[in-house]
Amino acid sequence: MSFSKQTIDHVDLHNKRVLIRVDFNVPLDDTCHITDDSRIRATLPTINWAIDDDAVVILCSHLGRPKGTANPALSLAPVAKRLQRLLNKPVAFTEDCIGPTAESVVKNAQPGDVILLENLRFHPGEEKNDDQFSAQLAALADVYINEAFGTAHRSHASTVGITKYVKVSAAGFLMKHEVETLEGTVENPVRPFVAILGGAKVSGKIEVIKNLTGKVDKVIIGGGMAFTFIKAMGFEIGLSLVENNMLDLAKKIHEQAIAQKIKFYLPVDCVVAASLSPEAETKIVTIQEIPPDWYGMDIGPASVRLFGEAVQNAKTILWNGPMGVFERDAFSRGTYAMAHSVANAYAYTVVGGGDTALAVHRAGESESMDFISTGGGAALQLLEGNHMPGLAALPDRPY
């Protein structure tokens, strides 16, 4: 699919102050060490393009959820150090993203310099899309580039408000690639096209399922959301996660898919736990034999085989959502097995960001996937066919 928005290669950056909204919301461990820098690496082509054009490159991002107050544990300082290594050049770091400190660093910067501003969400104006905060951010720049696909579904100051105050705006290369890949996968897939949907709740994926129904050849449902479908079929699911208000809709979706000749796969067995405690007893049971007071936590070995066989003849695979509570070792096997099956399929493989990207990374299969989205919620919104405020705020490409 062709990308309709103006992109960075359509605008003049030479000797300009270029503010790039990136998504450096990377995972940190207890010592503030970055455990996965793939989101940083994904922006390097855009950053280097601006550097090569002798722009003063100003990067801004959020990290975590500081809720409008400064939190040292969520500082972007570790990101500045990692970026410096990846670019192999100095990265200046400002202690604030607006105000005299940031303005002074930007004013003294030379063409080709790179500056990373402190966490945008240390200010309540960011998430409120506050006009004053947007204007202060915009004052730092001549050109604005949105490269943060992961926040394109949010109406924030750095994704929407700023475009009112900067004369020239455009999308970065990653933003363009994300949108083209996700939209193109759904609209023009090579068939057979298989969608794998997991995660906790049906309600979070309902619009995705509706949008994909009629476009896919097979749907595989796993994770907590599977138990809503299983209960809707009349089976006992014990204390497993369920959305009782979604039972009728789940049944309807299941029946419609079958009526449309779409192969609809649900787990046939699962790993259950006696309690939610990490030390709880676990066992493998068929879907028909879940004990009344046990919790379903992962797909079982028979489901792993069934799902694995279902993707083997696929030519396009879209995967969004884990198969179980993969963060805990006892319940990670289903998700990791799915990652291996998708990686080994002779297909074009698209992973829809968020928890799924993390699971693929932990399974050691990141390099085997054709495309891993940097945005979880944003990827979902795009797959639902919904409006993306951060994208809509950018000007259309001049033809």
Domains defined along the chain, listed by start = 8-176 (3.40.50.1260), 189-383 (3.40.50.1260)
CA dist., res. 371 & res. 347, Å (int):
12
Tokens at 5, concatenated: 């928005």
Radius of gyration of the chain (CA): 23
Q: Is the pLDDT of residue 265 over 90?
A: yes
- In the chain the first and final C-alpha atoms are separated, in Å, by 16
Q: Is the pLDDT of residue 219 over 60?
A: yes
Average pLDDT over residues 262-272: 96
Contacts of 38 (CB under 8 A, 6+ apart): 357, 361, 366, 372, 374
CA dist., res. 336 & res. 354, Å (int):
15
Q: Would you state the pLDDT for residue 242? A: 93
Q: Is the pLDDT of residue 89 over 80?
A: yes
In which element (H, E) is residue 271 found?
strand 269-273
Q: Would you state the pLDDT for residue 300? A: 97
Q: Is the pLDDT of residue 115 over 80?
A: yes
Q: Would you state the pLDDT for residue 237? A: 95
Q: In 3D, which of 396, 217, 202 has the Cα closest to residue 318?
A: 217
Q: Which sequence positions are flagged as catalytic?
A: 39, 201, 354, 377
Average pLDDT over residues 77-104: 96
Which pTM was predicted? 0.89
User: What pLDDT band is residue 378 in, cutting at 50, 70 and 90?
Assistant: confident
Lowest mean pLDDT among 4-13, 305-314, 359-368, 380-389: 380-389
Q: Would you state the pLDDT for residue 278? A: 87
User: 129: alpha, beta or left, given left = phi > 0 and alpha = psi -120 to 50?
Assistant: left
In which element (H, E) is residue 177 found?
helix 173-187
pLDDT exceeding 70 applies to what percent of the chain? 99
Q: Would you state the pLDDT for residue 262? A: 93
Tokens at 189, concatenated: 């897939």
Q: State the DSSP string of 184-233.
A: HHHHSPPSSEEEEE-SS-STTTHHHHHHHTTT-SEEEE-STTHHHHHHHT
Q: State the DSSP string of 330-398.
A: GG-HHHHHHHHHHHHSSSEEEE-SHHHHHHHHHTT-GGG-SEE-S-HHHHHHHHTT---HHHHTSPBPP
Q: Would you state the pLDDT for residue 136? A: 97
Q: Is the pLDDT of residue 1 over 80?
A: no
Q: Would you state the pLDDT for residue 206? A: 81
Q: Is the pLDDT of residue 112 over 80?
A: yes
Tokens at 273, concatenated: 């736990």
Q: Would you state the pLDDT for residue 93? A: 97
20 touches 53 (CB < 8 A): no
pLDDT exceeding 90 applies to what percent of the chain? 83
Q: Is the pLDDT of residue 61 over 80?
A: yes
Q: Mean of the per-residue pLDDT values for the chain?
A: 94
